[in-house]
A and B are shown apart, each in its own frame.
Chain A
Amino acid sequence: MRIFAIVKRILAELLRDKRSLALMLLAPILIMWLMNIMFSANSDTKIKLAAVDVPQIVQKNLEKTSDVSIVEYSSQTVAKEKLQENKIDALIVYREKANTYNVTYTNTDATKTALTKQALNVALTKEKITGLSQAIQKLEVIINNINPTSTKSLFVTAGNKTKINSYYKYGNSDTNFFNKIVPILMGFFVFFFVFLISGMALLRERTSGTLDRLLATPVKRSEIVFGYLISYGMVSIVQTTIIVLATIWLLKIEVVGSILSIILISVLLAMVALAFGILMSTLAGSEFQMMQFIPLVVVPQIFFSGIIPLDSMATWVQYIGKVLPLTYTGDALTKIIMYGDGLNQLIGDIIALLIFLLVLVALNVVGLKRYRKV
């Protein structure tokens, strides 16, 4: 069988190229480790506020809010200078006559602005509640004086604090945006790494002239395509497994479903990436052109595959997402990781990926006609 001879040759070549092999298998781990450092870094935002003429009670309430520190200034001019120098994040000025708070934000960091707004709102609400409860206490005294027995219980229960207990179906209180994008990112890295390598593979065969020599034998074009798919497929199974396990363990992702399902879906995506890479290397004229294809193919996958929710966008934007394989992998992986879906519940995504694979393989066989007409 010619296919197996091709598979054997490609694998032999890969095994000889120790450096590429090491890069292929270690680079994903390194990237995942870097991501781990990035996202586990302390991301708490701390804000520093300046207050001018702000009532003591509001200031105290603000200070009680975590990550907020407050400095009181007697004059606005000094405080404004501090704001100018970026020493503080916002300046709160209270005008007693108009009962108005004027807040000036540096607004260089939207998160800080939002946090300041929130903190101030909370502080003012608390102030109101304190005022209210004081009024109630006074009311209580008055009512008790009128009728000492009938209404007492009412005010006692109102004074009790309501407690909230939180339970999480997925993850814990630290679960954030990052956990939502991890399944999609994982798919993205699988696609990216496999695409990169397979794109170069056939290209090297072409530039060295061996493809011409190969095509000068009675080998079928489909035998070459399948030879590449099988050999690089074997490598990409190893690579994909490494990426998946590294992501789950290094980033401590809670997986509700089965890891095996994750690997299976990822391997399917890897095969699509492989077929895609081979097709691109058929179209590219040189290594340089291949490099230019990479952002063209890879970047839209990040934008339109679900990292940013597309539901609210124009219909045509949503259609772009539908023709990108990563959309389906992202969906499937999210369902496995977060909802614990089994493969039988993900048939739609699997069929979509298989269609991608079939179409790309067919295009590859036809695409090789460029180098031999039969």
Chain B
Amino acid sequence: MPVCSYLAYPARGAKKELAKELSALRYCEVTPSENEEILLLVTDTPDEKEEKALQDTLKNIKSLQSLGMTFGHMDE
């Protein structure tokens, strides 16, 4: 049951679009910054299979330039 948090950097000018796309995903909670081009993403998936599927989905989001992980937890 992984819980992770990330700094999500949008592609140029795509912050709003990225916030919308991430918010629409299962297991994702998004907190956009009010004054910088960055969003916080917290993911909470039920198992490794879903986690991998989510990672694959994230990789294909065009409005997302990069993710920087700031926290990760996994129940063993």
A and B: interacting chains: no
